[in-house]
Structure 1
Amino acid sequence: MSDTTSRMDVLLVEDNPGDAKLVAHHLDSSDSTHLVDDIGLTHLESLGAVEETEIDRYDALLLDLGLPESTGLETLDRATELVTDLPIIVLTGMRDRQKSMGAIERGAQDYLPKSDLDGDRLARTLRYAVVRSRQQRTLRRRRDQMEFFNSILQHDMLNGMNVIRARGDLLADNLDGDEREYAETIVDWSDDIIDLTEKVRSVLKTLSEDGMNEMQRRDLGAVLDAAADRARSKSPACTVNNHVTDMEVAADELLEDVFGNLFLNAVEHGGDDVTIDVTATVGDVFVTLRIADDGPGISPGRRRQVFERGQKGSGSSGTGFGLYFVDSMVESYGGRIWIEESDSGGAAFVVELPRTE
């Protein structure tokens, strides 16, 4: 398959030699170099010949509905079975709006009456059909990828975490003192990871079905308190001062994990006794939160870079997923996140989230 900005290879299935010559003439005479530099045309007279053709080398199929083997939409049905990944543009000698809509519903990218053809319109229709088809294939591939990752979360991660949790629960019942506390920590963290995995699976499932999670009213103070508890469970010596109350933002159930990742990032890089101060201001459209710590801070040159996938600080034991996840989720809420220097010289993560009315 060629690059549509330089060359396009088109397969024409047309049993009328005169109509085939007319299509070739239109493409040869089209002033459409702004759309595609060169269009190559291969003419076949039947769908049977298509079965013997190397379809992968073509970018689009021009299809006449009146062929020796079949006529009307039956021809289109047969063609879609033969060329599943090739955009099909129907050519017809009749003006029939009902049939044109039927063709689109059954998989055609476009429907052109032969009497309306000219070079520019034909080249433009081919170009747009190819672009749309590639976009659709990309969306299908992404949906397949999300379904695959969802399956991994279900069968590998969730199953494994449930085993870990069960063993931790068993140990907690049979140990005393510090060992019992360690086992209970395993259970608590297993519960957190299982819960997060289920939430991510829900997001992946929604996106794979071409939808979006519905935004809800979230009590920001309660969400921040829950996220702070998670940080304290990892490092009891850390201090989280949450000054945010009586504020609501529009987000989904993963918002607690967004802030949980920010607090845990501060603990990891600022030390077990790090102090985190959370404040917020309310504007007409957005709530702006400032999560400031007294850790070593982040240099200006790295402040945008840390949100990229796989990025992590030197000596970090993490995967580089946490801040990438935070940035992705905040953007999905219609918000923004950036980093400044805190008053104590540490890092201040500034999160802008849409208000609810």
Structure 2
Amino acid sequence: MTSEHHESAGPPSETVRRTRVMPAISNPGNRRVLLEWVRAQEEYVAVSGGQDRLRDAEYDICVLDERTLRQNVTVVRDRRRAETGALPVLLVSSASDFASVEAWARHTMDQNLWEFVDEVVTTPIEHVELRSRLENLRRIRDQSIAVAQKTEQLLLLNRITRHDIRNEMNVITGWAGQLEDHVDEAGQEICERVLDSSHNVVDLTRAVREFVEILEMDDDPELKPIALENALADEIVKRRSLFEDAEFVVDGEIPPVQIQANELLSSVFRNLLNNSVQHNNSRTPRVTVTVTRRTASVVVTIADNGPGIPSDRRDAVLGRTEDGLDHPSAGVGLYLVDTLVEQYGGTVRITDSTDGGAAVVVTLPTDSQVGDR
């Protein structure tokens, strides 16, 4: 914890972690009431400096009134974004003059300000109400920090685990490749299965990495125009090289359109193409890619000649049930596809293919229409 000069007297209890309160209130009377109450509490300590220290001081809860919030909204926004956990804001307001806090908010503030308020205490400030609001914000702050720390640990564990799994699978792939020259025909078939499974595991670690990247993104990922032809055609070429016994057919042309997406667009097609082969029990897996251009969107259909997916399992394989990825039919790859396509403003649906297998239909808005959606 960063050392700060605080507006509080007396040593804190050794068993209580004191929550730092920033009293950035312009009204002298309200500020005095807040400071007197905080100084009398063992679990709280007031940070000195007022609104002049909003940007650089260390604090856990910020207490503002309408005036200081308007004057410092940019600082509050930046501080909240930069914090490891939540940085709650308590607003001291005159909402008691209105029928409700919501009515007051509509009357005095626009939505851009209101979105930064986590709790409201009305004037004149009552100690019971103040305690209740601060205790709630204190819990939010502590829980969010604990979650952020745990998330950071899990992300680190995920990176280490993926790295170790890929290294071990590379070793297995190398030994299986060398073994092919020393076994009979039956043994070569087993080696091929080992190699296929090894590649599947490596693909799974890649899908997990990309899914984690989505989790680490902001709620609204930064999108840009991506050429569909490049993302789709490149993945088809790579799958042909990886799955030499499978057939990949492009029915027609891939139109020169751009999708409002990001670098993970190729992951959508890679996972769908992989899935069409890896879960295909045909002697020669066949994957047909069809792209249809519409006025405001493009439809990419990836169909196979495998066993298909029953209609009652289609939501489950995409992770759309209440169980999510815990459902036995769910797969990380298809869940990643569904998540990414939704972020791009598109849709995913599964139907039957004309070859008797499954067809995954991905509809994506073209770049010129994304802003209008």
TM-score of Structure 1 vs Structure 2, range by shorter chain: 0.5 to 0.7
Scaled by the length of structure 2, the TM-score of the pair is 0.57
Q: Against the structure 1 CA distance between its residues 285 and 187, is the aligned structure 2 distance closer, same or farther, given a 3 Å change threshold?
A: same
User: Where do 5+ consecutive residues of structure 2 fail to align?
Assistant: 1-20, 81-87, 106-113, 121-136, 369-373
Q: Against the structure 1 CA distance between its residues 352 and 103, is the aligned structure 2 distance closer, same or farther, given a 3 Å change threshold?
A: closer
- Which residue, 336, 349, 364 being the options, matches 1:338? 349
**What is the one-letter code of the residue matched to 1:293?**
D
Q: Against the structure 1 CA distance between its residues 80 and 254, is the aligned structure 2 distance closer, same or farther, given a 3 Å change threshold?
A: closer
SS in 2 for 1:304: helix
Alignment partner, residue 36 of structure 2: 45
| Contact 1:297-1:341 within 8 A present in 2 as well | yes
| Residue 123 in structure 1 maps to residue 97 in structure 2 | no
Shift of 1:151: 1.5
Shift of 1:327: 0.5
> d(CA) in 1 for partners of 2:355 and 2:198?
36
Shift of 1:338: 0.9
**What is the one-letter code of the residue matched to 1:47?**
V
Shift of 1:221: 4.6
Scaled by the length of structure 1, the TM-score of the pair is 0.59
| Contact 1:227-1:256 within 8 A present in 2 as well | no
User: Where do 5+ consecutive residues of structure 1 fail to align?
Assistant: 1-10, 24-42, 56-62, 64-68, 314-318
How many residues of Structure 1 are paired with residues of Structure 2 in the alignment? 295
| Contact 1:143-1:209 within 8 A present in 2 as well | no
> d(CA) in 2 for partners of 1:267 and 1:103?
51
> d(CA) in 2 for partners of 1:240 and 1:329?
23
**What is the one-letter code of the residue matched to 2:366?**
R
Shift of 1:326: 1.2
| Contact 1:150-1:204 within 8 A present in 2 as well | no
What do you get for the CA RMSD once the two structures are aligned?
5.1
**What is the one-letter code of the residue matched to 1:176?**
D
Structure 1 runs of 4+ off > 6 angstroms?
74-80, 99-108, 125-128, 131-143
> d(CA) in 2 for partners of 1:101 and 1:222?
44
Alignment partner, residue 160 of structure 2: 155
Shift of 1:164: 3.1
**What is the one-letter code of the residue matched to 2:40?**
A
| Contact 2:211-2:336 within 8 A present in 1 as well | no
| Contact 1:334-1:354 within 8 A present in 2 as well | yes
- Which residue, 329, 336, 341 being the options, matches 2:340? 329
> d(CA) in 2 for partners of 1:256 and 1:160?
23
Deviations 1:89-125 (A, max 9, x none): 3488xx997578777777784776x8x6653398347
**What is the one-letter code of the residue matched to 2:349?**
W
**What is the one-letter code of the residue matched to 1:88?**
V
> d(CA) in 1 for partners of 2:294 and 2:251?
17
SS in 2 for 1:225: helix
> d(CA) in 1 for partners of 2:146 and 2:89?
19
Q: 1:68-87 alignment to 2 at 5 Å?
A: 72-73=50-51, 81=59, 84=60, 86=61
| Contact 1:271-1:295 within 8 A present in 2 as well | yes
Between 1:245-254 and 1:123-132, the stretch displaced more is 123-132
Aligned-residue sequence identity (percent) comes to 23
> d(CA) in 1 for partners of 2:333 and 2:89?
41
> d(CA) in 2 for partners of 1:256 and 1:78?
42
Q: Against the structure 1 CA distance between its residues 123 and 184, is the aligned structure 2 distance closer, same or farther, given a 3 Å change threshold?
A: closer
Shift of 1:287: 1.2
Between 1:72-81 and 1:271-280, the stretch displaced more is 72-81
Q: Against the structure 1 CA distance between its residues 98 and 191, is the aligned structure 2 distance closer, same or farther, given a 3 Å change threshold?
A: closer
Between 1:324-333 and 1:169-178, the stretch displaced more is 169-178
| Residue 222 in structure 1 maps to residue 213 in structure 2 | no
